[in-house]
Amino acid sequence: MDQKPFPTNRDKGHYGVFELLHFDICGPTEQVSIGGSRYLLLVVDEASGCLKSFCLPSKSESEDCITNHIIKIQTQVGKKIELVQHDGAHEYATNSIKTFYEDQGIKRQVTVPYAHQTIGTAERAIRTIVTIGRSLLHHAKLEKCFWAKAEMTAIYIKNRLPSPKIDHKTPF
């Protein structure tokens, strides 16, 4: 049974594209993927709804993915990330990632532990991607070990759908 969402945060509306990012990790999966992954790290841009994901064999690799993704956005897109929001998971609380955020001038917003509604944007995106991924596997009659490919395909499709957040255009 689904829980009712927490009240919405009205302050999110003033952030531009790639200024507020939500992070969350899904896993471990019951089946190791073809590439050896057990976790899915999902990054959601608040303003555009654009999704970026990384399939990881362990949670410990998430720090490198996050820092590299932030650097890539700032150098290739030319946007400064102002705020990142994530849960209080250990992989987001290392001294090195805190130092990275501080050096980059990025604020962190850590949500309440075990209250998934407080990071609803990322949690809902994960639920959507996992559901689409399972549907793709089912209809293609593929084994569960293809979950990572199916979820990456789901993200590819979702990113190309019109989004109400950006006047029914796609993030691309």
For residue 52, give the CATH number of its domain.
Answer: 3.30.420.10
Judge whether 168 lies within some domain: no
Judge whether 43 lies within some domain: yes
pTM for the whole structure: 0.86
41, 25 contact by CB (below 8 A): yes
Judge whether 48 lies within some domain: yes
Evaluate if residue 6 carries a pLDDT over 50. Answer: no
Judge whether 10 lies within some domain: no
Q: Strand order of the sheet with strand 39-45?
A: 51-56, 39-45, 20-26, 83-86, 107-110
Judge whether 38 lies within some domain: yes
Residue 99: domain span: 15-163
Evaluate if residue 82 carries a pLDDT over 50. Answer: yes
Total count of domains within the chain: 1
How many angstroms separate the CA atoms of 94 and 82, rounded? 19
- Confidence class of residue 10 from pLDDT cuts 50, 70 and 90? very low
Average pLDDT for 109-138: 86
How far CA 126 is from CA of 5, 23, 103, 119, 130, in Å, comes to 15, 10, 29, 11, 6
Judge whether 6 lies within some domain: no
First to last CA, the chain: 35
pLDDT for position 116: 61
pLDDT digits (tens, 9 = 90+) for 14-68: 889 999 999 999 999 999 999 999 999 999 999 999 999 999 999 999 999 999 9
The DSSP secondary-structure symbol of 143 reads -
Q: What is the mean pLDDT of the chain?
A: 88
Judge whether 3 lies within some domain: no
Judge whether 141 lies within some domain: yes
Interior CA angle at 126 toward 39 and 77, to 5°? 90
Evaluate if residue 7 carries a pLDDT over 60. Answer: no
